[in-house]
Amino acid sequence: MPSIEEIKKSVISKLRYSLCLELESATNADIFNALALTLRDYQLDGFFNTRKVQKATKSKRLYYLSMEFLLGQSLRNNLTNVGLLQQAKQAIEELGFDFEQITAEEPDAALGNGGLGRLAACFIDSMATLDIAASGHGIKYEYGLFKQVIQNNKQVEQPDDWHSTHSPWLIEHHSQLMLIPIGGHIEEGEDSEGNYNPMWMDWKVLVGIPHDYLVTGYGGKTVNTLRLYSAGASDSFDVHIFNRGDYLRAVSEKIASENISKILYPADEIQSGKELRLTQEYFLVACTLRDIFHDYAQISSDITALPDSVAIQLNDTHPALAIVEMMRVLVDEHRLDWAVAWGITQKTCAFTNHTLMPEALETWPVALFEKLLPRHLQIIYEINHRFLDEVAEKWPDKPHLLASLSLFEERGEKKVRMANLAIVGSHKVNGVAKLHSELITQTLVPDFYFITPEKFTNQTNGVTPRRWLQQANPNLATFLTRQLGNGWVTDLDKLQRLKKLAKDSGVVEEIQAIKLKNKQALCRQIAAQQGVQLDPLAMFDCQVKRIHEYKRQLLNILHVIHAYLEIVESGHTQAPKVHLFAGKAAPGYAMAKLIIQLINEVARKVNSDPRTKGQLSVLFLEDYKVSLAEHIIPATDLSEQISTAGTEASGTSNMKFAMNGALTIGTLDGANIEIRDAVGEENFYLFGANADEINTHRQAGSHNRIYQNNDPAINRAVEALISGRFNADTSIFWPIYHMLTEGDHYCHLLDFDSYRIAQQQAQADFSQQLQWHQRALLNIANMGSFSSDRTIKGYATEIWGIGS
C-alpha cells in the first residue's frame, strides 16, 4: 500500500507528465484527474494479478450484458474498495485541496435510465467483491441520460456531455478493435458437401472500440472489468466507397457509424422502436461475442465445451440478440451442426426480466431485421421453426400454444418478440422479486411456464452496501463498525446483531443523531443549490425515482394537496413535514412531464403560503442522479414506495432507504413485500390494494368516479387540480384530472384513503422520536439479505454454475 507521501508524489507526477500541468496552476478538476490516474495504477496492478489468478484456476467466467450501467461517480468508490480512502484524503488535504470538493468535481457516468442500469452497477461491484471471474459489457455512450433543469416549473432536457473521451477511468484498447458486419443481403448456396450454406453479402462494417473500466472488489483483491464499446467507421470500407468516387457518401456513412454509440435512449419502460436502438443492441452483442470467443480460444479449442467455461447473463431482452449472434458464429463460422450449436447456446445464456409493463416489451418489425440483420432474421426463423415443431409434437392437443409461444407476432405488422427469443434461447429465466417472478409465470408468459416450468426462477434484487451504506452514509458506517467490527461491509447479515441494541436508549439516540446530521447536510446542500431553507427537525418524506404513472408520484402529491387544504381550509395544524421529490420523465412522456409540473406548482403555492409555515414544505430537486441519491437517501425518515401493486418489478431504492434507517410507506409490490417480511410489519407502513385486488378492480371496470364522490377528502383534493389554485390556467392539469376520474389504470383514488390513514399514522408516530428511531434501527438490522452480494451468490449457484 502506498504511503501518503507516495500518493502526493504520484499526483504531482500525473499532473506534470500526463496532464502537462504544475501543482500551482491545478484546478480541482485537474486534481481529480491526477488522483484518479494515480489510483488507476494501483487498480491496474490488481487487474493483472486477477487475470493471472483467474487463468491459473481456470475459473468459469460470467459475461453480464447490459445496455445500461448507471455507475455514478467512481473516485470515492474506487478509493474505498482499493483501501486508500483515508490516505488519499490526507494526501489531497496536504497538497492544499479540499477532498470533498475534489470528489464533487467528478461528473456522474449516467449510462443508464434507472433501476435496471443501477442494478448492473451494483452487480459488477458484488461480483468483484465475491472474487467471481466476471466482466460487464455495455456501450460507451458519448451522451448519458439527459440533464434535467426545471424552467417555469417544467422539465427541460439538456445533453449530458459527461466527457467520456477524457474519463480517467476508461482505458481505450484501439488495438483490439472489432469489425461488425451490418446490412446487406443473403445469397442462398451450398458448401462443397451439398449442405445449405447461405452467404451474407454486401454488408457494411461497423467498428467497435473497447474501453475498459476497472471494477475493484472491496478489499482490492479482485479487479474485474466493465468493457464499454464505442462505435467508429472502418477505414477499409471507406476506401471501398472512396474508390468509387463517392466522397460525400463515404463521409456521411462514417458519421452514421459513429453515431451508434452517441446517445443513450432516455425512455425506460417504453420501447422506442427506432432503427438506431436496434443497431445499438446488435452492436453491443456482436462486440461482446467477439470478446467471448476470443477469450475462450485462449483456454480451449473445444468449442462444444464452451458452457463449462462461459456463462452469459442477459439484462432484460435488450441484449437478447446474443443468442442469435452466438448461433451465427457457431453454425456459420465454426460450422457446427445446428442442434449442437443450439445446445451450447441454451446452456450458456440466461435471461433476467425486469418489467411486466406491456409497453416495455420489445418487439422489432421483421422488415427492420431484414434490412439490418438479414442473416440473424434467417436464424430466428429457423429457431422458431424447430421450436414450434417440437411443441406441436409434444402437445398435439394444445394447438393454441403455437400462437403465444411463437417468436413472431403475426397480428398487424409482423414482428420479432424479443422476450420469447430470450426465453427459448436461455436455460434460466428469472424475475427480480418473489411477487414479480410469480407474475412472470402466471400472467406474463404462462404458456412458457407450462412447457418449461424448470426454467423459471427468482433472484430478488439487492444493492451494494459499499456504495449505499459505507460511502453514502459515513456517519452510520462509523457507528456500525464501532458496534460490529468491519465485517458487515462484506457480510451484511452481521447487521442482525444490532437487534439486541434496539432496547438501549443510548444507542437509539445515536441513530437519531446520525439521521439529524445527515438531514442537516442535505439541508445545507439544498440551501446552496436551490436557495431553499428546510427545517432538519421536520419529518423528511422522500420519493425519488423515475417519474411514471405506475410509480404514483401523483398519489403522493394529491395527498400533499390534501394536507395543504386541511391546513388552509379546515384549520388543521400538523407537525413540520418536508416532502421531497426528484426524478426524470422520459422526454416523450407527456403525462409524466405534467406530473413534474404539478409537483412544482404545488410546491410553489404551498411554500409561499404563510399559513403553512413551519408545517409543510414541498420541494422538487432538480436533476436526480446517483450522486444526488447518495445525499438524499441517508437523510430520509419516510421512504415512499407506493406503486400500484403488481407493477413495480422489484424496486431497489426501497432497499437503500430501509438500509439507511428510513421507515417505508408502501404497497404490497415488488420487493416491498420481502422488505416488510424482513423488518417486521410493525416497522413498515402498509397501505393499498394487493395485486389480486387491483386485478379484480380493473376487471370490474373503472369505478374511480364513485370513489371520488363518496369521499369528500378525495373530492376536494382532486377538484383542486382544476380550480386554478395551483395554476391560473384551469385547463393545464385537465389531463391528470381526466385520467384520475375516468379510467385510471393505476388506481390512484382506490388507494387514496388507505394511503392517507397510513400517512397519518406515520406522522403521529414520528412525534415519538425514540420509538421511531428504534424502529429505524430495526429496519437497518434486518436488511442484510438485500445486499447485492446475496443476490449474486444466488445467480452464481443457481444460474451460472459458478462457485458451487
Q: What is the binding site for ligand 26W (CB under 6 A)? A: 113-116, 119, 267-269, 271, 316, 354-355, 360, 362, 432, 461, 648-652, 670
Are residues 556 and 579 in contact, defined by beta-carbon separation less than 8 angstroms?
yes
Dist. CA 773–CA 515, nearest whole Å: 9
The DSSP bridge partners found for residue 143 are 161, 263
Q: State the cell numbers at 376.
A: 440473424
Decide: helix, strand or coil at residue 436. Answer: helix
Cβ-Cβ contacts under 8 Å for 779 (sequence gap 6 or more): 658, 659, 661, 662, 663, 664, 679, 683
360/429 with CB nearer ligand 26W: 360
| Grid cell for residue 575 | 407537525
Is 546 one of the catalytic residues?
A: yes
What are the residues whose beta carbons fall under 8 Å from the beta carbon of 425, sequence distance 6 or more?
320, 323, 324, 345, 346, 349, 351, 383
The answer to whether residues 1 and 84 touch, using CB atoms and an 8 Å cutoff, is yes
Q: 3-state DSSP call for residue 235?
A: helix
C-alpha cell at 6: 507516495
Q: What is the DSSP letter of 219?
A: T
Beta carbon nearer to ligand 26W, 273 or 614: 273
Query: Please, which residues bridge with residue 314 across strands?
Result: 65, 351
The phi, psi pair for 506, rounded to 5°, reads: -60, -45
Antiparallel, parallel or unpaired: β 170-172 and 154-158: unpaired
The CA-based diameter of the chain, rounded to the nearest angstrom, is: 90
In angstroms, the CA 335 to CA 294 distance is 17
Q: How far is the CB of 461 from ligand 26W (least distance, A)?
A: 5
Task: Please give the Cα distance from 619 to 216 (Å, whole number).
Answer: 37
- Comparing CA positions, the residue from 463, 748, 412 lying closest to residue 630 is 463
Question: Is the separation of the CB atoms in 414 and 406 below 8 Å?
Answer: no
Whether 545 is catalytic: yes
Of 61, 76, 354, 415, the catalytic one is 354
Catalytic-role residue among 8, 61, 290, 546: 546
Residue nearest to ligand 26W (CB): 115
Return the number of other C-beta atoms located less than 10 Å from residue 272's C-beta.
14
Nearest CB to ligand 26W, comparing residues 268 and 510: 268
656 belongs to the catalytic site: yes
Beta bridge mates, 263: 143
Q: How many CB atoms lie within 10 A of CB 567?
A: 18
* Measured CA angle at 231 (ends 230, 234), to 5 deg: 140
Residues 663-702, buried b or exposed e (16+ Cβ, 10 A)?
Answer: bbbbbbbbbbbbbbebbeeebbbbbbbbbebbeebbeeeb
Strand partners, 581: 543, 620
First to last CA, the chain: 33
Q: Is 551 tagged catalytic?
A: yes
Euclidean distance between CA atoms 596 and 473, whole angstroms: 28
**Any idea which residues carry the catalytic annotation?**
354, 545-546, 551, 652, 656
